[in-house]
Amino acid sequence: MLYLILFLKLWSYAQTNHWCRIGMKTKLSNNKLRRQSLSAPNWNELLNATQEQTLEDEKNDHDALAGIVKYPDNLYLNDLFYFLLAPTLCYELNFPRTTRIRKRFVIKRLLEVIFGIHLILALFQQWMIPSVTNSVDTFSTMDVARITERLLKLAVPNHLLWLCFFYLSFHSFLNLMGELLQFADRKFYGDWWNANNINVFWSSWNMPVHMWAVRHVYKPVTSRGYSKGTAAVVVFFISAFFHEYLVSVPLQMFRIWAFLGMMAQPPLAVISRFAEIRFGPRWGNIIVWSSLILGQPLAIMMYYHDYALAHYTPQQ
């Protein structure tokens, strides 16, 4: 996960500075053409160019007084290190900053992080591991009734664990880092629990990743003339690849369950959108929650089954 976060951050850092470099070259080219026009005996063009240059100088002076950093003045290690620690995946030359660090806020978030880590470990060890272990034989025999029973039994602790992990990561930890770094942009998630379809859910539950995908994948694809639907499929394909990477590499075995789960989201988004329009927003929200409650434990059971078959021996 750390390698993936570092990759996404460096990709944003390089691409944003590339955009700035292109913009600076374009601006210099435009200024050059405007200065060349001053040599022509046209007093109207001379007057307009002089006024534009005066306004630009005033804007530059105002930006300097406001402490706004412009390219390439941002290309320093301190700026890069701050971005690597900041709770965002999208690089900006000038992040919104707070004026002070609230000590009580930091203490609250720190206590939440410590308590949340121990709570997740306790739930995982005492509730999830026994349920997952007992599901190996049912998958081996392909007993549909017992598989359904194990799936529903695992869905409860898995969903509770997932909610705890969400709160710990997106509220406690990211707000803690944002406060320590005086990072003012704290919109890490939206009201995903009220999502009426899958598209709304994926655009609101993980805002840092969503903004990165829109900025560095979705818009570049659509700017090349491709449709919005094609761009959305590309985003889900990249997300599916990264989800599989986060599971297969630690387990040291290649499976495609996480990949297939993510690639199933575009057709599921169509189904949930149809249900929202045809039967009302409540049914779309039911489909969203059903996919969360049942989809994740099913993937966990399949991965553990394959891992147990590949590594477990009777002698152990």
Q: Which of 30-39, 67-76, 129-138, 271-280 has the highest mean pLDDT?
A: 271-280
- 68 and 107 assigned to the same domain: no
Q: Bridge partners of 97?
A: 183
Does 95 reside within a domain?
no
Asked if residue 176 and residue 75 are part of one domain, the reply reads no
Shared domain check, 79 and 107: no
In sequence order, what are the beta bridge partners of 183?
97
Residue 94 maps to a domain: no
User: Which residue in the list 18, 159, 243, 305 is annotated as catalytic?
Assistant: 243
Q: Note every long-range contact of 277-285, with CB atoms under 8 Å and residues 24 or more positions apart, other chains counting.
A: 281/196, 284/195, 284/196, 284/197, 285/194, 285/195, 285/196
The answer to whether residues 289 and 268 touch, using CB atoms and an 8 Å cutoff, is no
Final residue of a structural domain among 44, 59, 85: 85
User: How many domains does the chain divide into?
Assistant: 2
DSSP per residue over the chain, as a string?
Answer: -HHHHHHHHHHHHHHHHHHHHHHHHHHHHHHHHHHHHTTSS-HHHHHHHHHHHHHHHHHHHHHHHHT---TTTT-SHHHHHHHHHSS-SS--SS--B-SS--HHHHHHHHHHHHHHHHHHHHHIIIIIHHHHHTTHHHHHHT-HHHHHHHHHHHHHHHHHHHHHHHIIIIIIIHHHHHHHTTB--------GGG-SSHHHHHTTS-HHHHHHHIIIIIHHHHHTT--HHHHHHHHHHHHHHHHHHHHHHHHTS---HHHHHHHTHHHHHHHHHHHHHHH-HHHHHHHHHHHHHHHHHHHHHHHHHHHHHHH--TT-
CA dihedral 298→299→304→310, nearest 10 degrees, is 120
Please, are residues 170 and 193 in contact by the beta-carbon 8 Å criterion? no
Of the residues 56, 85, 114, which one is the last residue of a structural domain? 85
Q: Is 254 within a domain?
A: yes
* 161 domain residue, yes or no: yes
Q: What is the C-alpha separation between 68 and 72, in angstroms, rounded?
A: 12
- Residue 78's pLDDT band (boundaries 50, 70, 90)? very high
Q: Are residues 15 and 150 in the same domain?
A: no
For residue 205, being part of any structural domain is answered with: yes
pLDDT at 87 over 60: yes
pLDDT confidence of residue 60: 53
CA 22 to CA 52: how far, in whole Å? 21
* Same-domain pairing of 34 and 151: no
Residue 226 lies in a domain: yes
Give yes or no: residues 182 and 235 share one domain. Answer: yes
pLDDT, position 135: 67
| pLDDT 10s digits, 294-309 | 888 778 777 777 777 7
Question: So what's the pLDDT on residue 39?
Answer: 33
Asked if residue 72 has a cis previous peptide bond (ω within 30° of 0), the answer is: yes
73 and 181 assigned to the same domain: no
Q: Are residues 76 and 146 in the same domain?
A: no
d(CA 48, CA 35): 11
Indicate if 60 and 122 belong to the same structural domain. Answer: no
Range of the domain at 221: 103-311
Mean pLDDT of 2-9: 94
Cα dist. 211→8, 199, 207, 225, 286 in Å?
Answer: 11, 14, 6, 21, 26
Q: Is 90 domain-assigned?
A: no
Known active-site residue 311: no
Do residues 75 and 152 share a domain? Answer: no
Same-domain pairing of 76 and 225: no
pLDDT, average across residues 180-184? 92
Question: Which of 33, 55, 85 represents a domain boundary (last residue)?
Answer: 85
Of 203 and 45, the structure prediction assigns the larger pLDDT to: 203
Same domain, 177 and 141: yes
pTM value is: 0.79
- Residue 191 burial (C-beta neighbours within 10 Å; 0-12, 13-18, 19+): exposed
At 160-169, the pLDDT tens digits run 888 999 999 9
Q: Is residue 96 part of a domain?
A: no
pLDDT value at residue 299: 80
By C-alpha distance, which of 9, 262, 299 is closest to 162?
299
Q: Which pLDDT tens digit goes with each residue over 216-263?
A: 999 999 988 889 889 989 999 999 999 989 888 888 888 888 888 888
